[in-house]
Structure 1
């Protein structure tokens, strides 16, 4: 190797001793080793830069890279943003190592490009019981359909995100993993399935994938690169890992006397946070468990809440740890297995195997963690052994029901209180129970904004059709506030459904004002438990089918927000039926019409 002339070095000068060491090393290298070393220092520079300004050296004029012989595409299918964040981090680390990496949302990816890909990493979340994320449905339909091409020349890897509360845990990622193998692609590395506490598993998968790709071109990861849990790129000072401790301004019950449910309107101050959002985005709320629930769990365990326990390498009081850091209500298959080991209960052991999936799911629907503890007590539990079977307490996402243009420095939420009886005790949802019982005005709650790029208003002159039931009306309140503030000229039509007209007509006075001011052009309502008008939103859609189809033909965007299990599929089927009838199309042609709306981002859903 040629010795280095210091006068030719770009960037910061080396000391005489550093230069001697470089020259001694370079004299002993062959071409392949020199290529590897360039990748090593590229990775090292990236790691130092991530460590912060105090450790990062000024960038060289020409950054050393590993020349990539193959292209790398990282696809993500994301419902709440987790898969998107992980994919973007992996792409950034790949580029730092000299790999030609691009990152694409499955919703925006043209699936016919698959046969041109060389290396493909897929990060996919699972929605509900085994479904792909809503924005990625089109990608899954193509890949799993008969038009999918042979992928014999492709190498792939899958990172699957899921929630072990569900039986079909990480099923969307598993489906991709199986299908790509069926299409002839070669698995670059084994699939990794991640629960809600995914940081370390995702980091290890990313590191292994990049190490394999870099090794192909004669390189090697620098020591420590990718070894730490992945950190999301900072777009705001406050995010999921560093939420803003916000103040609750107001907390009102929207539903009237006699209602069979409770729905609340929450106003939260974002003043001083620097957080911004668009209509359609969600607010992540880091709620805490009710101290009364914590006390009942501790009593059932026979443990002292003042005992110490480790939480992320820090010592905390057990009671506080259970209140702020762990899920202590809903039991998961993982917890059942863990508690079966602690208690030695044969009845729990029987529920563990895959052949008991239906029986286990039925058991979990009827038993919270406290019910399992009470039914199968043990004296062998310690604070450490108990929390080892728990999952981290996860934020709850709520569609934002306000516009910054109308309410600067505020975010409004529409929250239905989850409250029911189980084994003779009242049970509440963690976040909705927090808002119902603990969140008086001036209470503090950590929050962050979760972007939802697949639920966006179109241009101001484009008509919109909004379909929602219950709290699904929340983002449409934000839409109307935004359009009023901007003086938008596009027509708007709202289909709203709830239980009873008298007690459950959420934001009734506001909709009437929007109609009067012509911000809202039309509104249809459906109340499912009124004797004189029992109906659902899909019935109102059918009644207005001719006009609804005309609006679509005129370029309207169609939105659905609400329940994923019933509302979303019923509305989808009704939309197809309307297009069949009023568009004089066959069922297949109507489905193609709806698919074209989805592909053109004119049919958007925010369902849960």
Structure 2
């Protein structure tokens, strides 16, 4: 510190150093907030004149917090940040990207972006309009904007927090000034993430010149609901009422229908929401891992300050069935290997290698002698798996229904099964209990006016939320028309909930249904083909105000369906390609086009 040019004496610098060295992150954040507040006090007069403030604007400005995420996590974090800003006297305005006009960006002087990445590097549809505008030809220069980006993501995906990183780099390219390096939050929110928010708000407060009181940022904690709810940290142990295979005899695959007990207030939900299931790892996989590492299953290890036996930690706490770039990175940090390093540095090679492989594969392909503590430090925490709820709470009070496709595959000479689908299929029996919580999805909701017509498009288990939608509408005699497009492989064995759909068609709760079974004919037929066959009627429904829902595979089905909708708009409405895309974007902003894709 002695080498810095500063207004402090040597003794003062030494005192400062002695004060801050022992402090932890939270204490440092407190000091940072305190000093930021002090910096807003009027400075001592010099020669009868007030000293100039070199860094803060002389006019107050608000901070705009702009969020975009598929679930309620981004909104919850934005609201938490709003409260933290209020605690230090920083005026803010929170806006959803769904309801935001991108051309207004040029008027934002101070901007905090909170955005998630959907799947493997795709912007959530709630942020797509703003994202596309920034990356399009009409994006304005943002030379007067100062910004920071908080990115939400899941490091188990290859392109971790890509959407946030894209926002960050594009804002800079358009002339905006970054005030703090981007924060990339993994699925597990950490205390250090909150420290970043505290410090960033203090930076914005200093820049805006807001307030003149001594204020500090108070840790808020992530709370999105006033009432107590079950969460992934504190799930509810729900009893399994029923578990059946929906596929007919002779099917090579299986899809489970699971009914869970949910007659507690903390598990209330709406049609369109998802259930988070907390699984355990397969004991067969744990046995393989212990064999390849030659570790003692009874050895005591520590995770997040809690001591337990290694075998128990492998069963309940750690992700074993998939490896990520972050796992490879930590592996290389402890066990350098030239061949694995070459794979890690080649994006395509890395993506190919990690696909379908687990920790046993990694240790077999690149064997090392490691300790239990080293193994634990390499692995990621075991995460919940999410499933669209396939029931209406009004049709089935106190119950949650799930539609779960079993994941089975062979890789590297080993038969593998998905962690959670294996748990639900092989481990969990009727009358046993499963840890569950509700993941709200406010961006996949029935229209507020039940008379509004709806078009539901899904393949495979993507039909699950539509079962809830139609059940809900069946209870309301004034409901509008409903049209379901459903696709799967085979009519005989994979027509999920066939009898129920036929009953709803008979009662009028479901107006129309078109199906596509891709493996039954000479040529594959998918839901997008059925959409194009009904182009005229679909366009008329859209003109009559219909809401359109898409649920299922993100990479293929959802893209093909949106392309089909664009074709229908061009064919039936006379729009060119750009106009058709703009029409769909507008429908999305109006919540008339909603997606739940994965």
| TM-score of the superposed pair, with normalisation by structure 1 | 0.85
Equivalent residue number for residue 86 of structure 2: 95
Report if aligned partners of 2:71, 2:442 keep a CA contact under 8 Å in 1. no
Using the TM superposition, name which of 403-412 and 235-244 deviates more.
Answer: 235-244
C-alpha distance 207-506 of structure 1, shift in aligned 2 (>3 A): same
Point out where structure 2 has 5 or more consecutive residues left out of the alignment.
Answer: 1-33, 42-57
C-alpha distance 340-35 of structure 1, shift in aligned 2 (>3 A): closer
Equivalent residue number for residue 25 of structure 1: none
Task: Measure the CA separation in 2 of the matches of 1:285 and 1:457.
Answer: 24
Equivalent residue number for residue 516 of structure 2: 526
Out of 131, 145, 152, the residue aligned to residue 161 of structure 1 is 152
DSSP 3-state at the match of 2:147: strand
C-alpha distance 557-33 of structure 1, shift in aligned 2 (>3 A): closer
Point out where structure 1 has 5 or more consecutive residues left out of the alignment.
Answer: 1-31, 40-66
C-alpha distance 126-35 of structure 1, shift in aligned 2 (>3 A): closer
C-alpha distance 215-418 of structure 1, shift in aligned 2 (>3 A): same
Equivalent residue number for residue 388 of structure 2: 399
Task: Measure the CA separation in 2 of the matches of 1:533 and 1:279.
Answer: 35
Task: Measure the CA separation in 1 of the matches of 2:295 and 2:149.
Answer: 41
1:560 aligns with 2:553: no
Report if aligned partners of 1:68, 1:100 keep a CA contact under 8 Å in 2. no
Report if aligned partners of 1:157, 1:190 keep a CA contact under 8 Å in 2. yes
Report if aligned partners of 1:199, 1:229 keep a CA contact under 8 Å in 2. no
C-alpha distance 290-68 of structure 1, shift in aligned 2 (>3 A): farther
1:423 aligns with 2:444: no
Using the TM superposition, name which of 147-156 and 341-350 deviates more.
Answer: 341-350
1:485 aligns with 2:468: no
C-alpha distance 343-178 of structure 1, shift in aligned 2 (>3 A): closer
C-alpha distance 201-352 of structure 1, shift in aligned 2 (>3 A): farther
DSSP 3-state at the match of 2:322: coil
Out of 175, 185, 188, the residue aligned to residue 176 of structure 2 is 185
1:572 aligns with 2:565: no
DSSP 3-state at the match of 2:103: helix
Task: Measure the CA separation in 1 of the matches of 2:523 and 2:368.
Answer: 54
Equivalent residue number for residue 433 of structure 1: 422
C-alpha distance 578-33 of structure 1, shift in aligned 2 (>3 A): closer
Shift of 1:116: 2.3
Equivalent residue number for residue 244 of structure 1: 236
Report if aligned partners of 2:321, 2:357 keep a CA contact under 8 Å in 1. no
Task: Measure the CA separation in 2 of the matches of 1:177 and 1:140.
Answer: 11
C-alpha distance 550-230 of structure 1, shift in aligned 2 (>3 A): closer
Shift of 1:455: 0.9
Shift of 1:86: 2.1
Shift of 1:314: 1.0
Equivalent residue number for residue 330 of structure 1: 322
DSSP 3-state at the match of 1:274: helix
DSSP 3-state at the match of 1:594: helix
Task: Measure the CA separation in 2 of the matches of 1:414 and 1:390.
Answer: 29
Shift of 1:409: 0.8
Task: Measure the CA separation in 2 of the matches of 1:352 and 1:422.
Answer: 20
1:347 aligns with 2:336: no
Give the ranges of 4+ consecutive aligned residues of structure 1 lying more than 3 Å apart after TM superposition: 32-39, 214-222, 228-236, 341-344
Aligned residues: 545
Task: Measure the CA separation in 1 of the matches of 2:446 and 2:223.
Answer: 30
Using the TM superposition, name which of 449-458 and 504-513 deviates more.
Answer: 449-458
Task: Measure the CA separation in 2 of the matches of 1:262 and 1:238.
Answer: 30
Using the TM superposition, name which of 229-238 and 204-213 deviates more.
Answer: 229-238
Report if aligned partners of 1:211, 1:221 keep a CA contact under 8 Å in 2. no
DSSP 3-state at the match of 2:355: helix
Report if aligned partners of 2:89, 2:215 keep a CA contact under 8 Å in 1. no
Report if aligned partners of 2:71, 2:443 keep a CA contact under 8 Å in 1. no
DSSP 3-state at the match of 1:486: coil
Equivalent residue number for residue 376 of structure 1: 366
Report if aligned partners of 1:163, 1:196 keep a CA contact under 8 Å in 2. yes
Equivalent residue number for residue 218 of structure 2: 225
Task: Measure the CA separation in 2 of the matches of 1:318 and 1:68.
Answer: 58
Task: Measure the CA separation in 2 of the matches of 1:506 and 1:418.
Answer: 17
Shift of 1:335: 1.4
Equivalent residue number for residue 274 of structure 1: 266
| TM-score of the superposed pair, with normalisation by structure 2 | 0.87
* Equivalences for residues 494-509 of structure 1 within 5 A: 494-509=484-499
DSSP 3-state at the match of 1:564: coil
1:546 aligns with 2:536: yes
Task: Measure the CA separation in 2 of the matches of 1:34 and 1:418.
Answer: 52
Report if aligned partners of 2:485, 2:513 keep a CA contact under 8 Å in 1. yes
1:113 aligns with 2:92: no
C-alpha distance 321-240 of structure 1, shift in aligned 2 (>3 A): same
* Equivalences for residues 17-32 of structure 1 within 5 A: none
Out of 522, 529, 536, the residue aligned to residue 526 of structure 2 is 536
Equivalent residue number for residue 385 of structure 1: 374
Shift of 1:537: 0.8
Task: Measure the CA separation in 2 of the matches of 1:577 and 1:268.
Answer: 41
Task: Measure the CA separation in 1 of the matches of 2:155 and 2:241.
Answer: 35
Task: Measure the CA separation in 2 of the matches of 1:33 and 1:319.
Answer: 48
Shift of 1:256: 0.9
**Once the two structures are superposed, what CA deviation does each residue of 1:9-60 show, in whole Å capped at 9, x if it has no partner?**
xxxxxxxxxxxxxxxxxxxxxxx99974999xxxxxxxxxxxxxxxxxxxxx
Task: Measure the CA separation in 1 of the matches of 2:201 and 2:575.
Answer: 49
DSSP 3-state at the match of 2:475: helix
DSSP 3-state at the match of 1:239: coil
Report if aligned partners of 2:247, 2:496 keep a CA contact under 8 Å in 1. yes
C-alpha distance 560-33 of structure 1, shift in aligned 2 (>3 A): closer
Shift of 1:374: 1.6
Shift of 1:342: 3.5
1:306 aligns with 2:295: no
Task: Measure the CA separation in 2 of the matches of 1:423 and 1:511.
Answer: 41
Shift of 1:590: 2.3
Report if aligned partners of 1:251, 1:439 keep a CA contact under 8 Å in 2. no
* Equivalences for residues 248-267 of structure 1 within 5 A: 248-267=240-259
Shift of 1:534: 4.3
Report if aligned partners of 1:167, 1:361 keep a CA contact under 8 Å in 2. yes
